Amino acid sequence: MSGKYDDLSKAQLIELLEKRDRTKKLGLVWERDEIAADQAIDENFIACEIVPELSDKPAPWANMVIEGDNFDALRWLRMTLSGRVKCIYVDPPYNTGNKDWVYNDRYMDKENRFRQSTWLDFLYQRFTLARDLLDENGVMLVSINDEQRALLELMLDEAMPGMKLGCFVWRTRKGGYDSGNFSKDHDFVLAYRKPRFEFHGTEKNRNDYSNPDNDSRGDWTDDPLQQPKTYKQRKNAVYFITDPETGIAYPPNPNRVWSVGQKGDKGLTEKPWEDLLEEGLLVFKKKGQYVQYDSLDELCAAIDDKTAHKFARRDLPNIEDWVGRKIGLGSVRIKKFLKDRDDDEVNPLSSLLDGVTTEDSLSVKVGKTTEGTREVRAVFGESAFEYPKPVSLIRELVRQSAGSGDIVLDFFAGSATTAQAVMELNAEDGIDRRFIMVSSTEATEDEPDKNLCRDVTAERIRLLNARDDPKYDSLAAPFAYLRTREIAFEDLDYDLAPKDAWAALETLHGLPLTIYDGSAAWNAHEGEGVTLVMVDKYDAALLDWLRERSRKNVFVYAWAPGQLARELGDVEVEIRSVRDTLVRGFQQ
C-alpha cells in the first residue's frame, strides 16, 4: 500500500477499511477523505462569545444569532443542544459554481471536475452534525432546486438514514419558461423526520355534518358502504339491499362490492346490513328513483347497447335476480355521527405549497420569490440580500412543525427570513417559539470588512424589533449575538474564558443567555425547574446561598470541582467540572 495511504497509522487504516465494509452497495458515492472529515470535527474546541453591543434588547436572551462558519457553530450547538431542536430549516447553496456566495471561492469552482463531490461533502459534514441536534419528534426541512435535488436527496439519505418523510413542491414564480419550452417555476422542500414527528395538519372540516332527519344521536354524514374488491373477487358480497319503505332494491358497485354481510352468512364478525337498517343507519341515495327490467333478454339487450343500469353486467352471479325488480339508481351509504369522530382527527399536510386545498388534505398558501424580495426591501429600504425565500413559505412550515417552547434553527440563515417567520407566527398565535440563526461574515480578500451576519442577518431582526407600529409590539424577539472562536484542546485551561463557558452551560441547561459577571466569585441563574451555578473562586457566602435552596435540579460547576467539594462540606449538591462537561459534550 502506497501513495496517499503512506501517512496513515494502522488504527486509521483499520478504521478506513471498516467504514468501506459498511458502505452501502447501492446509493450515492462521492469523493471524500473520511479520516480527514472525522478529524476535522474534533480538531479543535469551539467557544461562543456573547457580543453585548451587537445583541438586541436586554438580557436574558431566549434567541441567538451566531456569527461564524456554520461547521463551527454546529459543533458548539451539538455540545449544548444535542437532541433538543424541534425544527431545522435551511436553504443551502445550490452549487451553481458562481461567485454569488462566499463558500464558492473555496468549494464550488466551476472548473473543478470534483465540484459536485466537494459540494456534497461540504453539506454532508454539516447535516450529520445537525442531525444530532434534532429532538425525537423533530424535523429537518431543506430547500433545493430541480437541478440539484436528486444529488442532495441521496446525500441526505446517507446523512440521515431511515428519516426521509417526503418533499413539498413550492411554486417559486408564475409564468416564464426555460429551455425546451419547459418552465422550471418550482423548487422543493425536502423533509426528514425523527421517529415521533408529525406535522400538525389542520382540523377536519365538519361542514358536511348535519341532522336533516332529527336523529336523536345528533349530526351525521354518510360514508360509503363499500370495499375495494370486485364482483369477481367477492361473489358473496354481490346482493341487493332493499329499502323497506319503497321496495326498491339497490345492487352493489361491481368494482367495489358491499363491505357488510347479510344475515345467514357464515363467519360474520360485524353486523349484517339488516341490523344496520333496523338501527336506522342506512341512507338510500336518490330515494324513489329506479329502473325495471321485465325479462332477462330486455336487461341483456340494454347492457349490450350501454343503456342499462350502470352496475349491470352480464356475468354478475345474481343477474337473474335483476329481472322484475325495482332497481335503485342511487347508492346505499352508512351514517357516521359527529359525536363518534375523534376530536384530534386532522387533515394531513399536502405536498403542494401553492394554496391548493382538497377535501382530504391541506395545502398552505405561500408566496413566491418576488414576495421575499419585497419583504427584504420593506425592512431594509433596499435589496440587501439576493433571492430570499418568502416569509410565508417558512412561516407555514414552522407553523406545521413547531409549538410552544420549541427551538427553530437555520444554519444558513442569510437574511434571517426564518427568524422573521418565527416572530410573525409567535405574534399571531401567542406561542413562544425560539430561534437560532447561524450566518457567516462572508468576508473575502476583496471585501475584508464585510459581515453578512452582523449587517443583514442580525440587522433584520433589530429593525423588526425597533418598528414603531402597535401591530408589531408582540413581534419583538430579544436575541444574543454570539461569535464562534476556535481553541486548541491543549490550550483550553488557559484560553476558555469563564464568560464563554457560562454561555455554553446556560444553553446546555435550557436557560436563556445572560451576561457573565467576571467580578463575582460565582454566578447563578435560577430558571424554571433548574438552577445553574458556576464558581470561579470559592466564597463562604455560597454555602449559605445553596442551603437556602432546594437541592433538586441545582447544578454547580467549578474549574476545580474536587477542591470546591471539600469547601462545601455537608451541602449535598452535584458538583461538576466545567472543562470535563464541555469537552465530553463536544466530543460525543
User: What is the reported pLDDT for 387?
Assistant: 73
Examine the pLDDT at 536 and tell me if it is beyond 50.
yes
More confident residue, 180 or 489: 489
Examine the pLDDT at 39 and tell me if it is beyond 70.
no
Residue range 387-411: mean pLDDT, rounded: 92
pTM attached to this predicted model: 0.76
Superfamily of domain 63-203+346-477: Vaccinia Virus protein VP39 (3.40.50.150)
Q: Provide CATH 3.40.50.150 ranges for the chain.
A: 63-203+346-477
More confident residue, 475 or 52: 52
The Cα 48–Cα 53 span in angstroms is 15
Interval 496-527: pLDDT, tens: 999 999 999 999 999 999 999 999 999 999 99
User: What is the reported pLDDT for 94?
Assistant: 76
The gap from C-alpha 99 to its chain's centroid, in whole angstroms, comes to 30
3-state SS assignment for residue 202: strand
User: What is the reported pLDDT for 268?
Assistant: 81
Interval 284-321: pLDDT, tens: 999 999 999 999 999 999 999 999 999 999 999 999 99
User: What is the reported pLDDT for 205?
Assistant: 66
**Residue 66: enclosing H or E segment and its boundaries?**
strand 63-67
Percent of the chain with pLDDT over 70: 85
User: What is the reported pLDDT for 354?
Assistant: 57
Q: Which three cell numbers stand for residue 511?
A: 436557560
Listed in sequence order, the residues at least 6 apart from 145 whose beta carbon sits closer than 8 Å to its beta carbon are: 94, 184, 187, 188
Per the listing, cell 472562536 goes with 485
| Beta strands per DSSP E along 85-237 | 85-90, 134-144, 164-171, 186-193, 202-203, 220-224
The Cα 298–Cα 301 span in angstroms is 5
Give the CA dihedral 292, 294, 296, 297, nearest 10 degrees.
-110
Listed in sequence order, the residues at least 6 apart from 37 whose beta carbon sits closer than 8 Å to its beta carbon are: 121, 125
3-state SS assignment for residue 479: strand
HEC string for 477-496: CCEEEEEEEEECHHHHHHHC
Interval 208-261: pLDDT, tens: 889 999 999 999 999 999 999 999 998 888 999 999 999 999 999 999 999 998
The Cα 349–Cα 203 span in angstroms is 11
Examine the pLDDT at 101 and tell me if it is beyond 50.
no
User: What is the reported pLDDT for 9?
Assistant: 85
68: left (phi over 0), alpha (psi -120 to 50) or beta: left
Examine the pLDDT at 35 and tell me if it is beyond 70.
no
